[in-house]
Amino acid sequence: MKKIKLHRVNLSWQISLATMILAIFFSGCGTAGKNFDESLYSNVVKGTTTHKEIQAMFGPPFKKGIQNGYAVWTYEYNYVNSFGTDIIKDMIIVFEKNGVVKSHQLMTNTPE
């Protein structure tokens, strides 16, 4: 009887330890935004590319806004983990009133 009780205590302790280790491991990871293919960025041409073409290439934007009266779409993807292999990508597209790209920029920490 004493041996069974000791086994239960040991198993309970092992499960608690495993749960704490997993909680610590997964607390160091996080994702924000939606991943997008930054290799398509070279297809974005100021004064030529339309908002419909942008949406076809990258999907719906993560955020939409207005800057000085012009529509702004933001594509954002941030993946951070405890192993130091973070991925940070932000792409901002500003549109003329007629829906054509006025300006654009891509910022990333990934190699080109």
Would the CA dihedral through 71, 58, 53, 112 be positive or negative? positive
- Any idea what the CATH number is for the domain that residue 50 is in? 3.30.1450
CA 99 to chain centre: 26
Q: Which helix (H) or strand (E) holds 39?
A: none
| pTM: predicted TM-score of the whole model, two decimal places | 0.71
Structural domain that includes position 82:
29-108
3 exposure class (CB count in 10 Å sphere: 0-12, 13-18, 19+): exposed
Query: Domain for residue 95, yes or no?
Result: yes
What's the pLDDT band for 62 if we cut at 50, 70, 90?
A: very high
Query: Domain for residue 47, yes or no?
Result: yes
Residue 18 has pLDDT above 70, yes or no: no
Which residue shows structure tokens 């920490």? 109
Query: Domain for residue 14, yes or no?
Result: no
Count of domains forming the chain: 1
Query: Domain for residue 63, yes or no?
Result: yes
Angle at alpha carbon of residue 23, lines to 17 and 24, rounded to 5°: 90
